Amino acid sequence: MATIKQLSLFLENKPGHLKAICGVLQEAEINIVTLSIADTEQFGILRMIIPDWEQARRVLEDKGFVVHANDVVAVEVDDKPGGMAQILNLLDQDQLNVEYAYAFTFRRRNSAVLIFRFNDTDEAVRTLTAAGRPLLAQADLLQALERE
């Protein structure tokens, strides 16, 4: 399946908590490919894509952090108005729900990568694949980033 592992951590919404996580990863020489933070008044959820997610998970758990690994889908689109709308139109046809999403760009390729968490990941992958949309596996994403 064309999914990517994403690490999710709960953070108290207090100064220094994000710094602590980044410091642990820095000490272990682990690079973050992309991240997203969603917050409320009391806590936040840090979501990260990391080249060696299993090592990152071990390192973070060893330092006492609670880490969850989730499957997400990475879709490459043209970096222009309507790129995301085209994907959402496909998903809407099959009544697939996007639980959350975030994105980043490949400047040299003039494309963007949309990271999605779906209510039904398998069905979303089938829908996007049947429509000919390029999905990136973990290795594909990391290889593309190395060329940036």
pLDDT of residue 34: 87
For residue 84, give the nearest of 98, 71, 69 by alpha carbon.
Answer: 98
pLDDT greater at residue 116 or residue 137 = 116
Check whether 70 has a pLDDT greater than 60. yes
Q: Would 4-70 and 73-147 be classified into the same CATH topology? A: yes
pLDDT of residue 144: 60
pLDDT of residue 26: 96
Domain boundaries, the chain: 4-70, 73-147
Reported as a pLDDT band with limits 50, 70 and 90, residue 143 is low
User: Does domain 73-147 match CATH 3.30.2130.10?
Assistant: yes
DSSP letter (8 states) at residue 29: T
Among all chains, which residue has been given the structure tokens 């996580």? 21
Distance CA(76)–CA(141), nearest Å, equals 9
- 99-123 pLDDT tens trace: 999 988 876 677 888 999 999 999 9
pLDDT of residue 112: 85
Distance CA(53)–CA(30), nearest Å, equals 9
- What's the rounded mean pLDDT across residues 72-99? 91
Write down the CATH superfamily of domain 4-70: VC0802-like (3.30.2130.10)
Range name among 30-44, 74-88, 134-148 with the lowest pLDDT average:
134-148
- What's the rounded mean pLDDT across residues 43-60? 93
